[in-house]
Amino acid sequence: MPAPPPGQTPWGPPPSGFQAPPPPQAQPRNGMGVTALVLGISGVVLGLMVFLFWMSWLPALLALIFGIVGLGHVRKGVATNRGMALTGIVLGVVGLLLAVGGGVFTVSKVTAFADDIREQNEAVEAAEASAEASASAEASASAAAEEARNLTFGETYTYENGLKITVSTPQPFVPDDFAMGHAKGNKALQVTVIAVNDGKKAVDFKTGLPNVRDADGADAELLIDGSGRQKVLTGNLLPGKRSVGKYAYSLPPDAADRIRVEFSPDVMEYDDTIWTGPLK
């Protein structure tokens, strides 16, 4: 078989009416729009979660960027998913707003919580300072009251109910031959307690015996004889009335000359008042 002329196929020219197939079309580049949609959904979901909102800004920002790029591809005709890209942009903006809003909300709550803690601490510190000041004031008042109850012989202490107590300087006492509580050679002394009721109610003397000791702390022994010179403060003292108690005590021969007398009309109701001074 002879070779065909140049420019001709061995099969001859195509039959009349035959059309060549169209060239293949390029695939649409829709990946950016799809990615923008997925990232936008992720950003919104994370933004709605209480503890994960702070992670939503990154996928939301990427969704916004990929969505803009996807729209560019649609305008150039190389992508067909304009709706996906636009939705990704919208969701990206929403995710960013949720991230910013969550951050502002968290900062405000943390600031409020810190303010509450600070206010509570300040309140506690103020209460402690007030308690310390109150305790210091009470201690000062107690010390002042204690100081006021330390007197010298002849001075008068006035209780809140108007009762006035005065202890005179102890005087030497000569017991008779029938004295009890006094050994030969001891020092005998007499303590005089004067009570005046300047209050509006009667005062009940329940324990009217003084406690006597010398400057070294040696206790004096109550001395009782048959002379009838001792008188115990007892019973009710009416308003405006005055009563005198006289008590005899015996001290060892070597007792110090300075005497301490403690007295309370009722140890359950009144604090002891103390008188000190030398013997005559």
pLDDT tens sequence across 184-203: 888 899 999 999 999 999 99
* Percentage of residues in the chain having pLDDT higher than 90: 24
pLDDT value for 19 = 61
Distance CA 36, CA 49 (A): 20
Sequence length of the chain is 280
Q: What is the mean pLDDT of the chain?
A: 83
**Residue 205 in this model has a pLDDT that exceeds 80:** yes
Residue 165: the pLDDT is 92
Nearest residue to 231 via CA among 261, 210, 258, 204: 210
pLDDT for 2: 55
- Distance in angstroms (rounded) separating the CA atoms of residues 59 and 44: 9
Determine the 3-state secondary structure of 131 from DSSP: helix
Q: Return the top range by mean pLDDT from 42-46, 145-149, 204-208.
A: 42-46
- Count CB neighbours of 61 within 10 A: 17
Confidence of residue 23 (pLDDT cuts 50, 70, 90): low
Q: Which is higher by pLDDT, 7 or 172?
A: 172
Range of weakest confidence among 23-32, 34-43, 188-197, 215-224: 23-32
Q: The whole model's pTM is what?
A: 0.52
- Interhelix angle for 82-148 vs 31-48, to 10°? 20
Looking at the chain, the whole-number percentage of residues with pLDDT higher than 70 is 89
Query: For the ranges 13-22, 116-125, 270-279, which has the lowest average pLDDT?
Result: 13-22
Ranked by mean pLDDT, the top range of 14-18, 142-146, 156-160 is: 156-160
Q: How far is CA 83 from CA 28, 29, 67, 76, 97, in A?
A: 14, 14, 10, 15, 21
